[in-house]
Amino acid sequence: MTLKLGDTAPDFEQQSTEGSIHFHQWLCNSWGVLFSHPADFTPVCTTELGLTAKLKEEFGKRNVKVIALSVDPVESHHRWVEDINDTQNTRVNFPILADADRKVSELYDMIHPNANATQTVRSVFVIDPAKKIRLTLTYPASTGRNFDELLRVIDSLQLTDNHLVATPANWHRGDDVVIVPSLQDEEEIRRRFPSGYKAVRPYLRLTPSPESAGH
């Protein structure tokens, strides 16, 4: 099953380090980040899960719930969590799915046979409160994920959902944004963007971020 942007994230029920998870019910009205790991006790994953725990406050500010997955059983997960806490100087504060039967991995197409026939690739799914997939990323097993980029994309998605703007290359929260080309009515533009805008080209109009401008 190949999932595309805008598709409904498949629902599932699976065991985890925090008990049975019914995914859509667990997400409730939050955004979600679902990300997979090739196996327990792998070095890069250990650093990723430790960093995720340390970023709990940042995810919380954005109304984001985080959930990880590995194809090892829950007993192994619990032992691994002890290692993560010890080596990364943190406390894992989110569930890790125990996908030993590959149910979730297959639903989300996380096993790529040309990479590895049994282990999941480093998949990432950002899911909005309507349970729609808004971002997919796939990393090779040797490369740790960039969590600053995940937070940046979530900031962009949440901003652009609420305002008629897009975010330019390398944008970060507070930077100028682009007025979408479909918005052409000058009266509406003045109402929506009272700080004004700079027209670099008719189709490229930069304006202060609505959030940083206080509207």
The predicted-structure confidence for 143-184, as pLDDT tens digits, reads as follows 899 999 999 999 999 999 999 999 999 999 999 999 999 999
**3-class DSSP state of 116:** coil
Is the distance from CB of 126 to CB of 31 less than 8 angstroms?
yes
My answer on whether 112 and 175 are in the same domain is: no
Determine, yes or no, domain membership for 8.
no
My answer on whether 34 and 125 are in the same domain is: yes
DSSP 120: P
d(CA 113, CA 117): 4
My answer on whether 169 and 83 are in the same domain is: no
d(CA 87, CA 95): 18
Determine, yes or no, domain membership for 108.
yes
d(CA 204, CA 198): 8
| Mean local confidence (pLDDT), 50-73 | 97
My answer on whether 197 and 121 are in the same domain is: no
Task: Quote the pLDDT of residue 53.
Answer: 98
Q: pLDDT at residue 116 above 90?
A: no
> Mean pLDDT over all residues of the chain?
92
Structural domain range at position 175: 163-207
My answer on whether 137 and 190 are in the same domain is: no
Percentage above 70 pLDDT, the chain:
93
More confident residue, 44 or 120: 44
Q: pLDDT at residue 119 above 80?
A: no
My answer on whether 134 and 65 are in the same domain is: yes
The one catalytic residue among 9, 45, 165, 177: 45
Task: Quote the pLDDT of residue 38.
Answer: 85
Q: Which residue has the tokens 């980029």?
A: 149
Whether the predicted model's global pTM rises above the 0.85 cut: yes
Main-chain phi, psi angles of 43, to 5 degrees: -65, -45
Q: Which residue has the tokens 């682009």?
A: 178
My answer on whether 105 and 191 are in the same domain is: no
Task: Quote the pLDDT of residue 190.
Answer: 95
My answer on whether 122 and 197 are in the same domain is: no
d(CA 15, CA 4): 26
Q: Where are the beta strands (DSSP E) in the chain?
A: 13-14, 21-22, 31-37, 64-70, 96-98, 122-127, 133-139, 165-166, 177-179, 198-201, 204-207
d(CA 40, CA 46): 8
What's the one-letter identity of residue 185? D
Determine, yes or no, domain membership for 75.
yes
Q: pLDDT at residue 106 above 60?
A: yes
Task: Quote the pLDDT of residue 121.
Answer: 62
Split into its structural domains, the chain has a count of 2
Task: Quote the pLDDT of residue 118.
Answer: 47
Determine whether 55 is exposed, middle or buried from the number of CB atoms within 10 Å of its CB (0-12, 13-18, 19+). Answer: middle
Beta bridge partners of 207: 177
The residues, any chain, with a CB within 8 Å of residue 73's CB and separated by 6 or more, are 98, 100
My answer on whether 129 and 171 are in the same domain is: no
Q: What CATH number does the domain containing 100 carry?
A: 3.40.30.10
Task: Quote the pLDDT of residue 112.
Answer: 54
My answer on whether 70 and 127 are in the same domain is: yes
Determine, yes or no, domain membership for 170.
yes
My answer on whether 28 and 120 are in the same domain is: yes
Task: Quote the pLDDT of residue 39.
Answer: 87
Determine, yes or no, domain membership for 5.
no
Determine, yes or no, domain membership for 158.
no
Determine, yes or no, domain membership for 153.
no
User: Quick check: is 28 catalytic?
Assistant: no
Determine, yes or no, domain membership for 132.
yes
pLDDT tens for each residue of 20-60 = 999 999 999 999 999 998 889 999 999 999 999 999 999 99
My answer on whether 179 and 137 are in the same domain is: no
Q: Across the chain, which distance is largest between two alpha carbons, in Å?
A: 61
| Closest by CA position to 167, among listed 181, 158, 178, 157 | 178
- Decide which of 143, 174, 194 is a domain's last residue: 143
- Decide which of 91, 112, 143 is a domain's last residue: 143
